Amino acid sequence: MNSDTTQAKLKHIHDSFQAAFENLPAYRHMLPFFESLFTLQEAAVAVTSPEPVEITPEVRAARLEGKLPLMDRGRLPYDKPAALVLLQAICREAATATPQLATGAAAINAGLEKKSAAIERGLDLFMSADQQGIHDLSAELSMDESILLFFLYHSTWPSIARQADLMMDSNQIAKNWDQGYCPVCGSLPSLAFLTENGARILVCEFCRHQWPFKRILCPACGNADAKSINYFFSQEEQTYRVYTCDACRKYLKTVDTRQLTRAFYPPLESIVTTHLDLQAREMGYQGLTSEASR
């Protein structure tokens, strides 16, 4: 990735957060940390070099036609030295964020000082999708498991993003993919958005790849019954909709970019719609993902 591309992405993040800070006072307390987090991540992508996964055009095409994601999440090489550098930088920023994140950062820092092998093992456990290992490590480090996952995910994401870029063929994906799970890594979407022409695009919770998907179709269970797929929104906040499925009781937040007055950056929109998560859960629905990204 060249420096101009990186700088353009960093400017996009800054502009998005600046507009949100000015217009969304309820979220101002958390926006500075998350702007720093995503800025660190995007800058790290340029200096992260995981061992590439070899995939031939023929294998890529066959996997997509067979509705198989390109990545195997549990066997994905990553750049551990780069992840450790980013982890330490995220901890520095988190030290002045929310009390929960600050406590988590302190636990990570203590681990890096006294049990550095344990922290490195944690990165390996996360990238190998070893849930029991993560559970045991969180107990060993005396920290909340969800907070540990937050730090591990965000510090390894640049490697995930680089692998996704190396594997992807956007034309083949657009031609062959109509599933509710990500064509790159197989994860479910954490967010959706509507384009200028009303098309719905899903955003992967893990690698952040975006792909088109039918409007009246549940990505979680495949339900296409219009009578059991609904959405709600607020008259004061028409930028956002929450689509719900009564068949599986799942929901998916959706951004109508035609109504959005700031630069669109999906990770930011996931953060500033937390109140919609609470509302949907109060109505008896559950999110599609674990949302380790928040």
Q: Two tokens at 288?
A: 């599609």
Strands (E), the chain: 189-194, 200-204, 210-213, 229-234, 237-245, 250-256, 286-287
Phi, psi of 200 (to 5 degrees): -100, 130
Q: What is the pLDDT of residues 153-206, one digit of tens each?
A: 999 999 999 999 888 876 777 777 899 999 999 999 999 999 999 999 999 999
pLDDT computed for residue 1 by the predictor: 59
Q: What are the tens digits of pLDDT across the range 120-164?
A: 999 999 999 999 999 999 999 999 999 999 999 999 999 999 999
How far apart (Å, rounded) are the C-alpha atoms in residues 130 and 160?
A: 17
pLDDT of residue 156: 98
Q: Are 73 and 185 in contact (CB under 8 A)?
A: yes
Q: Model-level pTM?
A: 0.93
CATH classification number, 178-287, choose in 3.40.50.720, 2.40.50.100, 2.60.40.10, 3.90.1670.10? 3.90.1670.10
* Contact residues for 185 (Cβ-Cβ < 8 A; gap 6+): 69, 70, 71, 73, 160, 164, 204, 206, 207, 209
What percent of the chain lies above the pLDDT cut of 90? Answer: 80
Q: What are the b/e assignments for 126-158, b being 16+ CB within 10 Å?
A: bbeebeeebeebbeebebeeebbbbbbbbbbbb
Rounded CA-CA distance 241/279 in Å is: 12
Domain boundaries, the chain: 47-167, 178-287
* pLDDT value for 114: 84
Which pLDDT value is given to residue 290?
Answer: 62
pLDDT at position 4 is: 78
pLDDT confidence tier of residue 209, bands split at 50, 70 and 90: very high
pLDDT (0 to 100) of residue 293: 47
Q: What is the pLDDT of residues 55-84, one digit of tens each?
A: 888 988 899 899 999 988 889 999 999 999
Q: For residues 7-17, give the mean pLDDT.
A: 95
Is the model's pLDDT at 294 over the cut of 60? no
Chain segment 24-56, per-residue pLDDT in tens: 999 999 999 999 999 999 999 999 999 998 888
Mean pLDDT across 88-117:
93
Contacts of 130 (CB under 8 A, 6+ apart): none
Query: Can you give the pLDDT at residue 233?
Result: 87
Query: What average pLDDT does this structure show over 264-269?
Result: 97
Q: What pLDDT shows up at residue 173?
A: 79
